[in-house]
Structure 1
Amino acid sequence: MDAHNATFYPREATILAAACACIFSVVGVVGNLITTVALLMHPKLRGHVTTMFVLSLCVSDLLFCSINLPLTANRFIRQQWGLGEKLCQMFAFVFYGNEAVSLLSMVAITINRYTLIAYYDMYTQIYTSTKIWIQLLLIWVVSFGLMVPPLLGVWGQLGFDPKTFSCTILPKNSKSPKKYLFVFGFALPCLVIIVSYSCIYWRVRESKRKLEGRRCVCGKLSGQTAKEKEEDSRLTTLMLTIFLCFLACFLPLMIMNVADDGITYPWLHIIASILAWASSVINPLIYAATNRQYRAAYGNLLKFCKNNPVARRTTWGSRTVGQSSNSPQYGEKEKRNHHKEPARL
C-alpha cells in the first residue's frame, strides 16, 4: 500500500467497526430470518400485499448480514482485503445491490400504504398477484442492474481501494458513477418516502376533520375529540420515527461519500458506515415488529416451535393472526365475519 495515498484509520476505529459488523451480522441474520419464516408460515399474512415487500426487504437485509458484514468485519480486523480480486468485485456488487433493494423495497411499502388509503377502490386492480411479482422483480433487477456497468468496466469499475482497504466503486478513465449512484439512489427514494407519508398523514387528517364535522352536526361529538387528537399524534410520531430512522442510517454515509471523498476524516466515515449497517438490523423492527399482525405472527411462530403438529395446525388456523387492512379482501371478509361472530369490544 502506498503510504502517500493510504488512509490511516485509527486502530480503535477499525476495532469498533469490526465489532459492530460482527454484532449486526448475528442480530441481523436472526432478526430477518425469524421475520421471514414467521411471515412465510402464515398464509393469511403471506398473501398480503405489504407483506410481500416486507419479505423483499427482509431477504435483502438477510443477504447483507450473512454475506457482506462478516467479510467487512474481516477486512477491518486485518486492515486489508486479501481474498482475491474476483471476490472483491462480487462483494461490492452484492453490497451496493442489496442496499438498493432495501431502499426500493421501502419505497414500494410507502407507495402501497398511500395507495391503500387514497385509492382504495382501485387498490385491487393496482395490486394484483401478477403486478406485485412484476414490481418485486423490477426492484431486484433495477437494483443489481445499476451495478452491471461498473462490474463490466463500462462506467467505472469494481475493485479494491487501497486508501480504505475496501472493495468499492472505482473510477475508470477518470469516470465514476459512485457519486451519481449515491446522490440519486438516496435522494429520490428519500423524497418518495417523505412525500408518500406526508400525503398519508394529510389524507387521514382530512378524513378525520370531515368525520368530526358530521358528528358536530349530529350532536354526537362528545368524548371523541381527545381520542382523535391522540390518534393524530400517534400517526405523526410514527411518521417521524420512520423518517428519522431512515435518515439517521443513510444520510451520514451519503454526505461523507459525497463531501469527503478523499477520506479526510476517517472516524466520521467509520461512524457513518456503522449507521448504514444498522439499517439492516432495525428494518424488521420498524416494518414488522411494530405492527400488531406481525407481532401475532412472531407469537404463533413460537407456538409452532413448542407445540405438537396437531396444535401447530390449530395455531395456524386461529384468528390470532387475523386479516390485515393491507389485504384487498380485508373489507369483504370482515363483513362476512360480522354476521357470524358477535361484536367484540
Structure 2
Amino acid sequence: MYSQIYTTTKIWIQLLLIWLVSFGLMVPPLLGIWGQLGLDTNTFSCTILPKDGRSPKKYLFVFGFALPCVVIIVSYSCIYWRVRESKRKLEGRRCVCGKLSGQTAKEKEEDSRLTTLMLTIFLCFLACFLPLMIMNVTDDSIRYPWLHIIASILAWASSVINPLIYAATNRQYRAAYGNLLKICKNNPVTRRTTWGSRTVGHSSNSPPYVDKRNLKENPTKL
C-alpha cells in the first residue's frame, strides 16, 4: 500500500494539511477570539495567555500530547506485530522444508534491537513532552515557574534527541556517523571545489586550481 499512499500528490497534500492544522490551531488566540498570544514573565516565554478568563492552552496541550502518543503506540505496535508475523511465517516455511525451526541467535538479537528501539523512542517522547503537558494543565496559575522552564527545555530537546536514539540503536546509523567522522578526521582542511564538470579536492596549503583554457582566453583573471 506504500506506493499508493505516498504518491507525489498525496505527499504534498499531507504536508499542506500538517501546516494548516498546526497553524490553524493558533488562529483563535492570534486573533484574540479565544485567549491571546503574549509574553509570560514568570516563565520567560511567549505563550497563550487568558483573555476574559478563557484560554485554549490546556486543550491544545492535551490534544498535542495525546494524539501523537496514540499514533506512536498504534504505529509501533503494528510494526512490531507485522515483524513478528513475518518471522512466524518464515519459521513455518523452514519447518515444511525440513530445515531447523526456532529463532536463531541473530533473529533474537534483531527482535531485541527492534523492541529496544521502539521502547526508547516512546519513553523519550514521554520524557520530552509529558512534563510540559502536565505543568501547563495542572499548574495553570504558574506557582512553580522553574518547573515550567525545565519542561520547556525538555520539549525543545526533542528536536535533537531522535538522531541520537537511532545512532545508539542502529548499526547503519553508527556506521554512517563513523565514516563521516573518519573523513573529517583524516582530511581536516580538505574541501571540494567544482569547476564546470570537474570536481577537484585541494587543501588550504595547495595552490588553487587554474583552468589553463580560461587563462589563455582571459589572462588578466589570474
Shorter-chain TM-score: what band?
0.7 to 0.9
Structure 2 counterpart of 1:306, from 165, 170, 191: 191
SS of 2:47 mapped into structure 1: strand
| Structure 1: unaligned runs, 5 residues or longer | 1-121, 313-345
How many matched pairs? 191
Deviation by residue 1:36-85 (Cα, 9 ceiling, x = unmatched): xxxxxxxxxxxxxxxxxxxxxxxxxxxxxxxxxxxxxxxxxxxxxxxxxx
Q: What pairs up with 1:57-76 in 2 under 5 angstroms?
A: none
Name whichever structure is richer in helix by fraction.
1
SS of 1:196 mapped into structure 2: helix
Instruction: Indicate the residue corresponding to 1:276 in structure 2.
Output: 155
| Structure 2: unaligned runs, 5 residues or longer | 201-222
TM-score normalised by L of structure 2:
0.74
Between 161-170 and 132-141, the greater mean CA deviation after superposition: 161-170
CA distance in 1, matches of 2:89, 2:48: 52
Distance 1:223 1:199, change over 3 A: closer
Q: CA deviation at 1:286?
A: 4.0
More RCO (CA 8 Å, sep 6+): 1
Structure 1 counterpart of 2:61, from 182, 191, 194: 182
Q: CA deviation at 1:158?
A: 0.5
Structure 1 counterpart of 2:172, from 292, 311, 331: 292
In the alignment, structure 1 residue 259 sits paired with structure 2 residue 138: yes
Q: CA deviation at 1:175?
A: 1.3
Instruction: Indicate the residue corresponding to 1:217 in structure 2.
Output: 96
Instruction: Indicate the residue corresponding to 1:125 in structure 2.
Output: 4
Give the aligned residue type for 2:85: E
Q: CA deviation at 1:210?
A: 1.5
In the alignment, structure 1 residue 235 sits paired with structure 2 residue 120: no
**Two-structure CA RMSD over aligned residues (Å):** 2.9
CA distance in 2, matches of 1:231, 1:210: 16
Instruction: State the structure with more CA Rg.
Output: 2
Q: CA deviation at 1:142?
A: 1.1
Name whichever structure is richer in strand by fraction.
2
Distance 1:156 1:295, change over 3 A: farther
Distance 1:280 1:293, change over 3 A: closer
CA distance in 2, matches of 1:195, 1:257: 26
